Structure 1
């Protein structure tokens, strides 16, 4: 698909929803927050799957500020999910949310999932923002826990996005791609590698979708109008992943 335009958000006559989904590791907003929010706004997402949202002092205030500057609303997550956060626009009608803490391995960071069920147009879908472990064995276990949690949402369609901390040829990434569509692999658009912004050589961030969702394009939004190389480098230590998806009506 290259760098042809991604479809804009819309609700089609049959009730199916075309949604723009952004996954972004924001490194606790320690970098250039204005550059970060310029990138988010330029991507015009309906949903943002954030990783490494601020965790500590006044984390809710920081999440709310990020949402407001990005023209979004806080859906769920943040400190209560150990970092993953979900943002949405008013296009989403929220059915329920739940922040999940995953089992902790002594000596390693606590990990969690921000989960929600929303309706957009005539579509009903589950959402999970994740940031998996740096340690391979724990990461593989978390992949199974994530897939179990997606099934437990009991929805017709689902989107999982986040920092996988592993390349597509790794066992955890392959486990996800075996159960879900790896949106970048299905319909490439934009750039491929997400880490690091200064010298991107690894694809460790991804958007996944259940089988009934049509992938219209997915990749790093390089060359997208309003997204500059300077802002991508200044915003955080990962590049974002933007996907356009068509979700059938419920």
Structure 2
């Protein structure tokens, strides 16, 4: 991505590790996303208040966070139109982290934020639930879909592939020729963070920021993708 490009929609996925480091806000401001998908936002007592303060520091608004969204949140800049913003609860079994997803229509694009678990069987269960409850409905409604999140798998792994197949999506980073690792942030070795997009949303560019603040702010590096929205119908 170069300075003279003017993307129609910039999306960013970022596991923020509970917002333990205030540098996360600096990273987000530097990237200037229109849509910010968070994983591991602060939870528990005071968690939502911290998330709202973070949104204010980044110049964005919180559209989904807390409650059933659990380990995800969705922030959007003020000038983007948001409708049907909601949390999606995912199945839980004792001994595992309670997980959820965040979704909204942003300028007519169905955005879905996910944070899949550490166990392969749980990841596949949650992808199946999302496919049945969110992605299938979006496909039936002819909505363009973008899935963003920490998948806890490398490209080509079962849950990653199942998400691509659930709504006929493509890996935006791969489309842009980017395969930079995102985890761990200080010495990244694997790419487990993803932006998966409808092929009708052209990928203008992709970037995994790699400056010093990124290496310190969280245990993941973010993935930033620029998309071009379709022209609105004429007449």
Q: How does the TM-score come out when normalised to structure 2? A: 0.90
Asked whether the 8 Å contact 1:59–1:79 carries over to 2, the reply is: no
Residue of structure 1 aligned with 2:191, choices 203, 208, 211: 203
1:236 pairs with 2:218: yes
How much does 1:4 deviate?
4.3
Asked whether the 8 Å contact 2:127–2:159 carries over to 1, the reply is: yes
Write out aligned runs for 1:7-18 (5 A): 7-9=5-7, 18=8
Distance, in Å, in 2 between the alignment partners of 1:5 and 1:208 is: 24
Write out aligned runs for 1:164-183 (5 A): 164-178=151-165, 179-183=168-172
Distance, in Å, in 1 between the alignment partners of 2:159 and 2:5 is: 30
Aligned to 1:52: 40
Change (3 A) 1:118 1:128: same
Asked whether the 8 Å contact 2:67–2:87 carries over to 1, the reply is: no
1:193 pairs with 2:177: no
Partner-residue secondary structure (3-state), 2:228: strand
Aligned to 1:151: 136
Aligned to 1:24: 14
1:80 pairs with 2:68: yes
Q: How does the TM-score come out when normalised to structure 1? A: 0.85
Spell out, residue by residue over 1:136-190, the C-alpha distance to the aligned partner (whole angstroms, 9 max, x if none): 011012122223312324352111100000011311112223431110111134x
Q: What's the RMSD between the two structures over aligned residues?
A: 1.7
Distance, in Å, in 2 between the alignment partners of 1:108 and 1:85 is: 19
Aligned to 2:116: 132
Distance, in Å, in 2 between the alignment partners of 1:155 and 1:27 is: 34
Asked whether the 8 Å contact 1:8–1:20 carries over to 2, the reply is: no
Distance, in Å, in 2 between the alignment partners of 1:5 and 1:108 is: 43
Q: Which has the higher contact order (CA 8 A, sep 6+)?
A: 1
